[in-house]
Amino acid sequence: MKIGIIGLGHLGRSLLQGLLCSGIAPDEITAYNRTASVCDAVCEKFGIDATGDPGYVAETSDVIFFVTKGAALEELSESIPSKAYAGKTVVSFMAGVRPEKLESACPGAEIVVAMPTVSIADCTGIIAHTKAPENVSQLFKRLGYSFETTYDGAVRSAAYAASGLGFAAYLLSAYMKAGRDLGFREDECAKITDILFTTALRRGDFDTIVAEVATKGGATERGVMRMDNVGVPGAVSDAVRLAYEKMA
Ligand SMILES: NC(=O)c1ccc[n+]([C@@H]2O[C@H](COP(=O)([O-])OP(=O)(O)OC[C@H]3O[C@@H](n4cnc5c(N)ncnc54)[C@H](OP(=O)(O)O)[C@@H]3O)[C@@H](O)[C@H]2O)c1
């Protein structure tokens, strides 16, 4: 199966790394990026075929990944002959681009909308996708945890999982800062934050852990009440909802 990647920004490069890391051979992949110097550098580094023509990617690939800004679709369509799409599968990673728009930009192609996390780079991604042919579903499985959903489900996953990776990192970074503020060294903060969050995740029943640690009238309860009073749970929920509304 020949795989084409159009767009080698953060997510396009993650896709390329993930495909290679999952065992896809470099000679099965061709990539295009608008800025040719980026394309050449990335393709040389990973030993894959680079092109300055997005039409060539579409013509020579069975599965074509669009990983550019959504606004680029119109401009790209002008450089790709309509006949290049016949019998191909187009996978769009572009947040905010609806399937109807893709169907008219890529006539004759089977359209799949998928929303991945950048952690597909090391095959630990989360990928929500619309109905996909078997060969494409198998590709997603190689890149991490994948599941089929509706277009709206994919957008919700883009907010909760794809943006969520950034939100999770933000919260960890805030906890690291709390440690530094108390006088811990960077390496100590990193070790403690790692153990705390990993342990809470492994134990799983988060409300029970809070109840066990935050005994009535104690120090933890004081901290939890502070987080409740400043609205931490609401702020987290708002962050996810705002990301969803921007992409819906
Ligand atoms: N990052 C994520 O976690 C994530 C998750 C899910 C979905 N997405 C979606 O993935 C897409 C790429 O995101 P990213 O994080 O990789 O962004 P990025 O690092 O900013 O890369 C943007 C890419 O789009 C290309 N591009 C922009 N305008 C273009 C145009 N007019 N014509 C052709 N190419 C154009 C850029 O090419 P140049 O190098 O020439 O500028 C670059 O390859 C977006 O649609 C985003 O919504 C991202």
Q: Is 154 within a domain?
A: no
217 and 240 together in one domain: yes
Residue 11 in contact with ligand 1 by CB distance below 6 A? yes
102 and 126 together in one domain: yes
Q: Is 31 within a domain?
A: yes
Domain boundary, last residue among 122, 149, 176: 149
Pocket test for ligand 1, best of 34, 115, 165 (most atoms within 8 A of CB): 34
204 and 225 together in one domain: yes
63 and 117 together in one domain: yes
119 and 192 together in one domain: no
Q: Output the average pLDDT for the chain.
A: 97
Question: pLDDT band for position 100 (50/70/90)?
Answer: very high
209-246 confidence digits (pLDDT tens): 999 999 999 999 999 999 999 999 999 999 999 999 99
For ligand 1, the distance from its centroid to the CA atom of residue 176, given in whole angstroms, is: 30
Is 55 in contact with 34 (CB distance < 8 Å)? no
140 and 166 together in one domain: no
Residue 222 in contact with ligand 1 by CB distance below 6 A? no
125 and 173 together in one domain: no
8 and 31 together in one domain: yes
Q: Is 177 within a domain?
A: yes
**CATH number of residue 89's parent domain:** 3.40.50.720
Q: Which domain holds residue 42?
A: 3-149
Domain boundary, last residue among 149, 182, 200: 149
Residue 69 in contact with ligand 1 by CB distance below 6 A? yes
Is 21 in contact with 50 (CB distance < 8 Å)? no
- Contacts (Cβ under 8 Å, ≥6 apart) of 132: 89, 91, 112, 114, 140, 148
**CATH number of residue 188's parent domain:** 1.10.3730.10
Domain boundary, last residue among 103, 131, 149: 149
Structural domain tally of the chain? 2
pLDDT recorded at residue 217:
93
Helices (H) and strands (E) in the chain, counts: 12, 8
Q: What are φ and ψ of residue 38, in 5° steps?
A: -65, -45
For ligand 1, the distance from its centroid to the CA atom of residue 18, given in whole angstroms, is: 17
Residue 115 in contact with ligand 1 by CB distance below 6 A? yes
39 and 123 together in one domain: yes
233 and 175 together in one domain: yes
9 and 114 together in one domain: yes
Q: Is 111 within a domain?
A: yes
* 78-83 LR contacts (CB < 8 Å, sep 24+): 79/53, 79/54, 79/55, 80/54, 80/55, 80/106, 81/55, 82/107, 82/108, 83/108
Rounded Cα–Cα distance for residues 236 and 163 (Å): 12
Pocket test for ligand 1, best of 5, 6, 8, 11 (most atoms within 8 A of CB): 11
42 and 127 together in one domain: yes
152-170 confidence digits (pLDDT tens): 999 999 999 999 999 999 9
For ligand 1, the distance from its centroid to the CA atom of residue 234, given in whole angstroms, is: 30
Enclosing H/E stretch for 51: strand 49-51
63-81 confidence digits (pLDDT tens): 999 999 999 999 999 999 9
SS3 at position 192: helix
Residue closest via CA to ligand 1's atom 45 equals: 94
Q: In this structure, are strands 125-129 and 110-116 parallel, antiparallel, or unpaired?
A: antiparallel
**Ligand 1 atom closest to the CA of 158, numbered from 1:** 6
16-57 confidence digits (pLDDT tens): 999 999 999 999 999 999 999 999 999 999 999 999 999 999
Rounded Cα–Cα distance for residues 148 and 195 (Å): 33
Question: pLDDT band for position 196 (50/70/90)?
Answer: very high
For ligand 1, the distance from its centroid to the CA atom of residue 70, given in whole angstroms, is: 8
